[in-house]
Amino acid sequence: MKLPPLPKKSLGQCFLTERSYAHEIVAALQIRPGDTVVEVGPGRGFLTELLVETPARVIAIEIDDRLQVFLKEKFARNENFSLVHSDFMDYDLSNLTCYSPLKVVGNLPYHLSSGIVYKLLEHNRAARNDSSLPWFSLGVLMMQREVAERMVAGSGSRVYGKLSVFVQAEAETTMHVIVPASAFRPTPQVDGGVVRMEFLKLPEHYPTDYKLFERIVRFVFSQRRKMLKSTLSQLAGIHPHWQRVEFDFTRRPETLSVGEWCGLVNQVARQISPRGS
């Protein structure tokens, strides 16, 4: 087999090289017979080598033309492996319908990690209302440590923010393992963090109007040092409806739990569009 291609800086490629962390990531997927695992950006196939040894069907999505050729040759004899040539951000996940439910894994390009997480959440929101769409039940994703910490942060934490709220409204998240920068080649400037996400089909707390939820949370956290009453008074279409809601608007956004955020937005939604109107 040919030597693997060198990392491509333009694609943010930093390849994991420490086998112990690869084993931890695959173990966190809890793969069972009949599972289908989607791997985002398999790179040189370091995780893939372990995935194809499991009973799962493995679908790897890779954008790099050079790695496409390398991976096809490397896993040509693995009948449970298939390769999709695409940018994950552009890929239509409805193509995976016949394999639902799915698990997703990957060492994500650090500059795209938040975007990939948001894409998975958006897809699952659609799948909740359309049973013909594939459902992602579990994700084990490597990203930069800072983003991983924000995903799992609880209210009151200095890193708790809009990403924390959006992710935790739809998934139970845990920090599975911290991976030092020295475990990658080339060596990035920051450590990695592996987040395990159990996607919730029936979340305990959920907004009745997701677009309103997203608009309010994004806007308020853009001015996170201000009290809610200060930011909401600036938000067209929301002001003055929020003033008719019973809530302590002297609080700052990072103090609200995910459940409180959902409850607050649901109350505001009822004021904007009262039942029976």
The 10s digit of each residue's pLDDT in 251-265 is 999 999 999 999 999
- List CB contacts of 244: < 8 A, sequence separation 6 or more: 271
Residue 14: what pLDDT? 82
* pLDDT band at residue 277 using 50, 70 and 90 as cut-offs: very low
More confident residue, 69 or 164: 164
Residue for token digits 């909740």? Answer: 128
- Domain 9-199: assigned CATH number: 3.40.50.150
Residue 185: what pLDDT? 87
| 123-155 burial: b if 16+ Cβ within 10 Å, else e | bbeebbeeeebbbbbbbbbbbbbebbbbbbbeb
Structure tokens at 245: 């809601």
Cα 142 from chain centroid (whole Å)? 10
* pLDDT band at residue 100 using 50, 70 and 90 as cut-offs: confident
pLDDT at 231 over 70: yes
pTM of the predicted structure, to 2 decimals: 0.93
pLDDT at 7 over 60: no
pLDDT at 127 over 50: yes
As a whole number of angstroms, the distance between CA 256 and CA 213 comes to 13
Q: Which of 33-37, 56-60, 185-189 has the lowest mean pLDDT?
A: 185-189
Structure tokens at 30: 């809890």
* pLDDT band at residue 226 using 50, 70 and 90 as cut-offs: very high
State the SS3 of 91-123.
Answer: CCHHHHHHHCCEEEEEECCHHHHHHHHHHHHHH
| 6-28 burial: b if 16+ Cβ within 10 Å, else e | ebeeebebbbbeeeebbeebbeb
pLDDT at 10 over 70: no
Residue 186: what pLDDT? 85
User: Is 76:97 a contact under the CB 8 Å cutoff?
Assistant: no
Residue 9: what pLDDT? 63
Residue 117: what pLDDT? 98
Residue for token digits 């159990």? Answer: 198
pLDDT at 244 over 50: yes
Instruction: Say if residue 194 is exposed, middle or buried (CB neighbours under 10 Å; 0-12, 13-18, 19+).
Output: buried
As a whole number of angstroms, the distance between CA 28 and CA 195 comes to 10
Residue 50: what pLDDT? 98
pLDDT at 276 over 50: no
* 3-class DSSP state of 39: strand
Q: How high is the mean pLDDT of the chain?
A: 94
Closest CA to 191 of 157, 142, 151: 142
- Domain 210-272: assigned CATH number: 1.10.8.100
Rounded mean pLDDT, 234-243: 95
For 128-158, write each residue's pLDDT tens digit: 999 999 999 999 999 999 999 999 999 999 9
Q: What is the percent of the chain with per-residue pLDDT over 90, rounded to a whole number?
A: 86
As a whole number of angstroms, the distance between CA 126 and CA 129 comes to 6
Residue 8: what pLDDT? 59
Q: How many CA atoms lie within 13 A of 159 on its CB side?
A: 9
Measured CA angle at 34 (ends 65, 195), to 5 deg: 65
For the chain, give every domain's residue range: 9-199, 210-272
